[in-house]
A and B are shown apart, each in its own frame.
Chain A
């Protein structure tokens, strides 16, 4: 079956093409003049209730994020503050971008034995697939920091170290249950501020 068969067949009027282009332009124009008029009224203080175009005034205002959105990684800790990670390298193994670099070491307390001496994620390669989070048997890595901005001037600046990963905290307030237009949280910190 042709995949296109599931679409509604075009009417004769639609197949003539140009009139529909005109329809589209009319729609765009209508929004344009509608917004123009309402912003004008708002700027002279006539009305404040009606909403204009839905645009976020980034970076002062940020778009709310879904709870499932994968943001920058972090490493979770045990109650005593040590990393939960046991350096099993499941995440390193599953990572399709091969951007996790773990070096394992022996821990002094013998009940856990193993922990990461080094845990680097090269964000320059990461594709944010979240497989590392899925693969982790210890719930030691999560992508819930709410941090989305981590631009850097060079590739080295894109390297997240174990210390950085452990220092991030989950930013629950940046997530809303429903990305409601009303809920506009305070800006999430950038990587440099976190």
Chain B
């Protein structure tokens, strides 16, 4: 295996490793625009120049493979000078409209200008003008003037989404990024190009001009969009409520996890945060009187619901859990159902239409925690749900607790209406108003996923951690806390204070989660069982073992 000396430090690396990767192993960070560990290497931007002994000119670190005995200087005068000059050239036609640019604050031109640039501009000519706001696709805008032609986005569309929409056209000063004639950047992964664009050339329509990035706070979490459970960062803005139309969750960004989503996430998941700040959010417990909804307190609502359950035989109480719930919720709910001896239990729903899926990240199961549902001991087959609805329609149920689901998403709307009409007490527990909540008699508002601490188990039985990014709206609470409140008057004491306590109990009592804790799950999740070894092998093949975990800039 070749040995390489970089700035006096020697390291042994795999054959085929490039200088930039070897430097990374030593913790030496070289500037880069076109190099991205998830994409092929092109050596396009030349900002990563280093001085290599016995080579006459500075060389690009990203494209130069390591040879045995190579001696590299990254901080020599020659290397620094070369990078500075390249940066100056990259900025020759750059408009520097940073005040307007959405990338300001996380822009790598600004960053490297401060680190390696700081030259006095020699430009006297006018800058080359190009298109300022080109509508590329449903989610992405392009500013051709700001593009530094690193081709990351082009390679993303060629290599990852394989949809080939973008290309670089013309030459020299007039080279510009554009979609191929007749094409639009319209694929299910299109916004990843915005994430990897090192400058503000590609911006996200949804986020454009809504807030400045330095106002945002990032919380590591898990995308609830499908059972892949992509690792993400939830960017929130709670200090300045006049921004982003008052939404607290402003955007989602993928977070590097070599074993799940690498650097990417799909556009469907990316916009799944909208429901958290939607006007349809339920924020106060409500009970129905005739046609009227009366807002009430938790005490009153819980007392009333508990009375209904208490005065009903256990086999006339139905419970409809959901694969949208966290493992903590499901564990507490299972205990609750078990202690009360509830038998009429359903959980999963079959969607009406075939959901979008592909063989990359998007799974057909658009629920984040179907595996967790199974591991918690709930029925995962959708037949149980059809049965429960039938039992409701047959008048066999006196009380029905429905968690999160909108039943009309899976069954004919009139069948749902007539079945629910047969149940004297329907209790809806969920974050958003929907057709099912409209037919309920009690509504208990639950916290939405950005408001939760908890875990999801993804399709490969990887247990991953959600973190609370914002406080629950209004009086909403996590489902397990609602169940805990409901259990008390029914004599089911669930002695948990924090979701961490719930998870500790889950790890103790459910062998599927044995040995896990929030600490072992950490930011990247805990792979369960037989999948672990296979996934580990895959991971080793894929990536160099030391990479910076920065969501924006891979």
Residues on A close to B: CB < 8 A? 86-90, 92-93, 101-106, 110-114, 118, 137-138
Would A114 and B243 be within 8 Å (CB), given that A87-B209, A104-B209, A106-B208 are in contact? Answer: no
Additional 11 contacts, C-beta under 8 A, given A88-B212, A92-B240: A86-B97, A88-B98, A88-B99, A88-B100, A88-B104, A101-B240, A102-B242, A104-B209, A113-B132, A137-B99, A138-B99
Binary CB contact string for chain B from 334 to 363 against chain A (1 if under 8 A, 0 otherwise): 000000000000000000000000000000
Residues on B close to A: CB < 8 A? 97-100, 104, 131-133, 208-210, 212, 214-215, 240, 242-243
Q: Which residues of B contact A101 (CB under 8 A)?
A: 240, 242
Residue from B100, B215, B242 in contact with A86 in the complex, judged by beta carbons closer than 8 Å: B100
A110 and B99 form a contact (CB under 8 A): no
A-B pairs, 6 with minimum CB distance: A88-B99, A104-B209, A110-B132, A110-B133, A114-B100, A101-B242
- What residue in chain A is nearest B143 (Cβ atoms)? A113
A118 and B242 form a contact (CB under 8 A): yes
Give Cα A150–Cα B240 distance, bound, in whole angstroms. Answer: 26
Give Cα A118–Cα B241 distance, bound, in whole angstroms. Answer: 13
Give Cα A89–Cα B209 distance, bound, in whole angstroms. Answer: 10
- What residue in chain A is nearest B208 (Cβ atoms)? A106
- What residue in chain B is nearest A136 (Cβ atoms)? B99
Q: Which residues of A contact B99 (CB under 8 A)?
A: 86, 88, 90, 137-138
Question: How many A-B residue pairs lie within 8 Å, measured between CB atoms?
Answer: 39
26 contacts across the A-B interface (CB closer than 8 A):
A86-B99, A86-B100, A88-B99, A88-B100, A88-B104, A89-B212, A90-B99, A92-B240, A93-B212, A93-B214, A93-B215, A101-B240, A103-B242, A104-B209, A105-B209, A106-B209, A110-B132, A110-B133, A111-B132, A112-B100, A113-B100, A113-B132, A113-B133, A114-B100, A137-B99, A138-B99
- What residue in chain A is nearest B95 (Cβ atoms)? A111
CB distance from A64 to the nearest CB of B (A): 36
Give Cα A180–Cα B99 distance, bound, in whole angstroms. Answer: 41
CB distance from A62 to the nearest CB of B (A): 36
- What residue in chain B is nearest A113 (Cβ atoms)? B100
Give Cα A113–Cα B209 distance, bound, in whole angstroms. Answer: 10
Q: Which residues of A contact B240 (CB under 8 A)?
A: 92, 101
Give Cα A147–Cα B131 distance, bound, in whole angstroms. Answer: 42
B-side binding surface: helix, strand, loop or mixed?
A: loop
Give Cα A93–Cα B214 distance, bound, in whole angstroms. Answer: 9
Q: Which residues of A contact B243 (CB under 8 A)?
A: 103
CB distance from A42 to the nearest CB of B (A): 57
Give Cα A89–Cα B99 distance, bound, in whole angstroms. Answer: 8
- What residue in chain A is nearest B132 (Cβ atoms)? A110
- What residue in chain A is nearest B214 (Cβ atoms)? A93
- What residue in chain A is nearest B133 (Cβ atoms)? A110
CB distance from B113 to the nearest CB of A (A): 15
CB distance from A83 to the nearest CB of B (A): 13
Give Cα A118–Cα B100 distance, bound, in whole angstroms. Answer: 16
CB distance from B165 to the nearest CB of A (A): 22
Q: Which residues of B contact A114 (CB under 8 A)?
A: 100, 209
Give Cα A110–Cα B208 distance, bound, in whole angstroms. Answer: 14
Give Cα A101–Cα B243 distance, bound, in whole angstroms. Answer: 9
- What residue in chain B is nearest A103 (Cβ atoms)? B242
Q: Which residues of A contact B210 (CB under 8 A)?
A: 104
Most buried by B among A87, A112, A114: A114
Q: Which residues of A contact B212 (CB under 8 A)?
A: 88-89, 93
- What residue in chain A is nearest B245 (Cβ atoms)? A103
Give Cα A112–Cα B101 distance, bound, in whole angstroms. Answer: 10
Give Cα A110–Cα B534 distance, bound, in whole angstroms. Answer: 51
Q: Which residues of A contact B131 (CB under 8 A)?
A: 110
Q: Which residues of B contact A110 (CB under 8 A)?
A: 131-133
CB distance from B176 to the nearest CB of A (A): 15
Q: Which residues of B contact A90 (CB under 8 A)?
A: 99
Give Cα A114–Cα B210 distance, bound, in whole angstroms. Answer: 11
Q: Which residues of A contact B133 (CB under 8 A)?
A: 110, 113
CB distance from B515 to the nearest CB of A (A): 46
CB distance from B141 to the nearest CB of A (A): 9
CB distance from B102 to the nearest CB of A (A): 9
CB distance from B237 to the nearest CB of A (A): 12
Q: Which residues of A contact B100 (CB under 8 A)?
A: 86, 88, 112-114
CB distance from B199 to the nearest CB of A (A): 15
Give Cα A87–Cα B208 distance, bound, in whole angstroms. Answer: 12
Give Cα A106–Cα B210 distance, bound, in whole angstroms. Answer: 10
Q: Which residues of B contact A87 (CB under 8 A)?
A: 209
Q: Which residues of B contact A137 (CB under 8 A)?
A: 99
Q: Which residues of B contact A105 (CB under 8 A)?
A: 209
Q: Which residues of A contact B242 (CB under 8 A)?
A: 101-103, 118
Q: Which residues of B contact A106 (CB under 8 A)?
A: 208-209
- What residue in chain B is nearest A137 (Cβ atoms)? B99
- What residue in chain B is nearest A112 (Cβ atoms)? B100
- What residue in chain A is nearest B205 (Cβ atoms)? A106
Give Cα A103–Cα B246 distance, bound, in whole angstroms. Answer: 11
CB distance from A75 to the nearest CB of B (A): 15
- What residue in chain A is nearest B99 (Cβ atoms)? A88
Q: Which residues of A contact B104 (CB under 8 A)?
A: 88
- What residue in chain A is nearest B145 (Cβ atoms)? A111
CB distance from A19 to the nearest CB of B (A): 60
- What residue in chain B is nearest A104 (Cβ atoms)? B209
